Amino acid sequence: MAAIAIVVGVPGVGKTTVISRVVDRLGALGYNAEIINYGDIMLKKALELGLVENRDEMRKLPVTKQLYLQRVAAEWISKRSEEVDLILLDTHLFIRTPRGRWPGISENNIPYLKGVVQLVLIEADPEDISRRRMRDKSRIRSDYGSVSEIEADQLYNRYMSTSISIRYGCPVYILKNEEGKVDEAVEELVKVLERVITDSRVD
Ligand code: AP5
C-alpha cells in the first residue's frame, strides 16, 4: 500500500506551489511521489453531476452533497495505483461552508484513507496569505475573510491536526512558507518526506 502524506494549509498559503516542486525534487532524487488533489477529484464528480460550475462553488453546496462528494473522492483515492513510494494528498482539515467550518477529514472519509503516515501543515504570515489570495485572480475567494480570520483559521488547523495525528498515530510537521522563500520551504519538506519514504520502506 502506498504511504500517504496529507498536506494541508489554509487556501492561498502556497501548498500547491510548494508540493508540486517537492515532487519534482523527490523525482530527481530517485523517489516516485505523486500528488493527488482532493478538490480536483471532488470537482470532477460535481461537474459530472451538474452540481457546480467551478471549484469555489463546492464549499457552498448543501453539506449533505459535500459529504457525498467527499466520500466518492475518498473511494477513488483508495483505488489509486499503488506503484508509488508516496502520495501527497493536497487537501484541507476544514472547509469554510455557509454553516461554519466543516471537516475535510472525518469519519466520513477516514475508512477509505488507509496508509496515512504523515501530516504536513503549511503555514505563513496571515498578511502574506491575504496578499497571495488577492494576487490570484483565477479564484473566487471573496468569502474567505480578513487577516484576523486567516489567523483564526490557521489556529483552527493546529487544533484539527492534533485529532488527525491521534487518529492515525502519525507525526505532524509544521512547515513555514515564508514570503519569497519557496525554495527554502521545498528543501525543508523534501528532507522530511525522504524520512517518511525510508521509514515506510523499513516498515
Ligand atoms: P483546493 O484545490 O485545495 O484549493 P484552495 O485551497 O482553495 O486553494 P489552493 O490549493 O489553490 O491554494 P494553495 O494554498 O495551494 O495556494 P497556491 O499554491 O495556489 O480546494 C478546493 C476545494 O476543494 C475546497 O474549497 C473544497 O471545497 C474542496 N475540498 C478539498 N479537499 C476537501 C476535503 N477533504 N473535503 C471536502 N472538500 C474538500 O499559492 C497561492 C499563491 O501564492 C500563488 O500565486 C503562489 O505563486 C503564491 N505563493 C506561494 N508560495 C509563496 C511564497 N513563499 N512567497 C510568495 N508567493 C507565494
For residues 113 and 110, give the distance between their C-alpha atoms in angstroms, rounded to a whole number: 5
For ligand 1, is residue 183 a contact (CB within 6 Å)? Answer: no
- Is residue 81 scored above 70 in pLDDT? no
CB 11 within 8 A of CB 144: yes
Amino acid identity, position 188: E
Cell, residue 55: 471549484
For residues 203 and 200, give the distance between their C-alpha atoms in angstroms, rounded to a whole number: 5
Read off the DSSP letter of residue 180: T
* Total count of domains within the chain: 1
- What's residue 80's pLDDT? 80
For ligand 1, is residue 123 a contact (CB within 6 Å)? Answer: no
Read off the DSSP letter of residue 8: E
What CATH number does residue 41 fall under? 3.40.50.300
- Is residue 2 scored above 90 in pLDDT? no
For ligand 1, is residue 127 a contact (CB within 6 Å)? Answer: no
Mean pLDDT computed over every residue of the chain: 94
Predicted TM-score of the model (pTM): 0.94
Q: For residue 46, count other CB atoms closer than 10 A to its CB.
A: 24
Pocket test for ligand 1, best of 8, 17, 101 (most atoms within 8 A of CB): 17
The whole domain housing 81 covers 4-202
